[in-house]
Amino acid sequence: MIEFFNILFQIVLYFGIVAIIAYFVYPLHDNIEKYFQHKVVWITGASSGIGRELAKELVRLSPTTRLIISARREEELHSLAKELNLDSDHCLVLPLDLESHTHGFQSKVDLVLDRFKRIDVLINNAGISQRSLIKDTIYQVDSRLMNINYLGTVTLSKAVLPHFMERQSGHYVVVTSATGYVGTPLRSSYAASKHALHGFFDSLRLEHTRDHIDVTMVCPGFVKTDVSINAFEGSGRLHRKMDPQTEKGTDPIVCANNILHGVAARKHEIYVGRSAAIVIYLQRFFPKILYQVLLRIDSS
């Protein structure tokens, strides 16, 4: 009897993982060009990594889309705008530092509306990561991670919300992480900030469904970007090292393409990479198994 249940468990686990990968990793039939046609799309964190590739893929797949590209590094934004070969009628370079959220972002929203008259999609992609043990992390690092990743994103999204409500249309896309579901070593406050984003935007989705506002949460696994290089260490210094897992991660072009397909399909959640889908599935249905797996990885 025990052997029977062991076999049954393995079958359920296998097909459950296959099903969740099929649904969240491989998008339903969609048409990116049709969905984004003539839309105004605002991308934060657009100077590098996933955000930069999202802008490039959008221009390639939907040439009529108008873009607002935001990040702290203005020179990198101008470099991207030049690479995209878009005129000022189709691309607005708008420097933005999420850490300055205490001043609000209404003036930034007003600049966008003055240029394009509307906002259709806000892709909240900007953020920063962490590489430090809890016991070695100073309060200032915890605070900065929450300010940038959570409060900055929330403040910008709330500044756009009245416009979405007035138009009875809008789409929030929030790039979080698999750690938004599963806390892992060396990323405690980063994981906390990503968990917070899921809580906030799950609530927003429910509160504003009748306003025809969509919310898509994006949960990447390892993506080959500079995220670990730019991560905070416990002292506040930058890590300046590429993680081995990140080095072997999903190509950011593939990641961007998966995100755009999922957004065009108006999915509630998108998992980028099979490992992300498996980890989140295990956390939901078999948390003790995942705990043991993570312990072994951490001790190896």
Catalytic (active site) residue 150: no
CA 35 to chain centre: 19
Q: Tokens 């998992």 correspond to what residue? A: 271
Contact 40, 64 (CB under 8 A): no
CA distances from 143 to 61, 109, 131, 188, 189 (A): 38, 25, 15, 12, 9
Q: What are phi and psi of 71, to 5 degrees?
A: -175, 175
Contact 193, 150 (CB under 8 A): yes
Contact 46, 70 (CB under 8 A): yes
Strands of 91-93's sheet, edge to edge? 91-93, 66-70, 40-44, 121-124, 170-175, 213-220, 269-272
CB count within 10 Å of CB 9 equals 11
Catalytic residue among 190, 271, 281, 291: 190
The residues carrying an active-site annotation are 190
